[in-house]
């Protein structure tokens, strides 16, 4: 799996070195620090031990319609709507967010592929290690493309 090894972290670090606080997005409204904070929110959500208490209809919608988009093979479309839980509107500190993102990726590597096999997502229920790989990497690749890195 791509995200569960040190080579992935090295690749991310090299690409992040091409990003700075003034890098402009090719689409969308977030600035670079907000984008990094948005990526971090995904990791924070996945590491959370809190059980989300969505209603039946919301759980059904997330699992039936959103999950296939998030963990499926097709890349995200530009300007795809962000879930309000992951929307970052306030200003963020670039270096802090970059450092946190690298720490989050390192945590995934340290925990290892086996720890993600059958791990429950707060939004999508139980996922395989391959689905977690897709979720994290596809999201990261989407936003790196957004900023041309």
Total number of domains in the chain: 1
- pLDDT at res. 59: 77
- Among the listed residues 147, 11, 140, the one whose alpha carbon sits nearest the alpha carbon of residue 76: 140
CA triple 148-13-73, angle to 5 deg: 60
The whole model's pTM is what? 0.91
- pLDDT at res. 100: 98
Beta bridge partners of 121: 125
Note down pLDDT in tens along the chain; length 149 residues.
699 999 999 999 999 999 999 999 999 999 999 999 999 999 998 998 766 667 778 778 888 888 998 899 898 889 888 887 788 999 999 999 999 999 999 999 999 999 999 999 988 889 999 999 999 999 999 999 999 99
Q: Residue 47 belongs to what domain range?
A: 2-146
Task: Specify whether the CB–CB gap between 61 and 128 falls below 8 A.
Answer: no
């Amino acid at each position: 799996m791509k995200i569960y090894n040190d080579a992935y972290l090295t690749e991310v670090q090299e690409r992040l070195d091409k990003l700075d606080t003034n890098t402009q997005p090719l689409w969308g409204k977030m600035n670079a620090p907000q984008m990094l904070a948005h990526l971090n929110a995904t990791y924070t959500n996945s590491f959370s031990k809190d059980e989300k208490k969505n209603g039946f209809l919301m759980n059904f919608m997330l699992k039936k319609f959103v999950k296939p988009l998030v963990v499926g093979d097709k890349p995200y479309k530009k300007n795809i709507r962000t879930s309000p839980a992951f929307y970052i509107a306030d200003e963020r500190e670039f270096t802090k967010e970059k450092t946190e993102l690298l720490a989050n990726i390192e945590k995934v590597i340290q925990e290892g592929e086996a720890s993600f096999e059958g791990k429950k997502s707060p939004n999508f229920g139980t996922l395989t290690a391959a689905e977690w790989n897709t979720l994290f990497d596809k999201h990261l690749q989407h936003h790196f493309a957004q900023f041309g890195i």
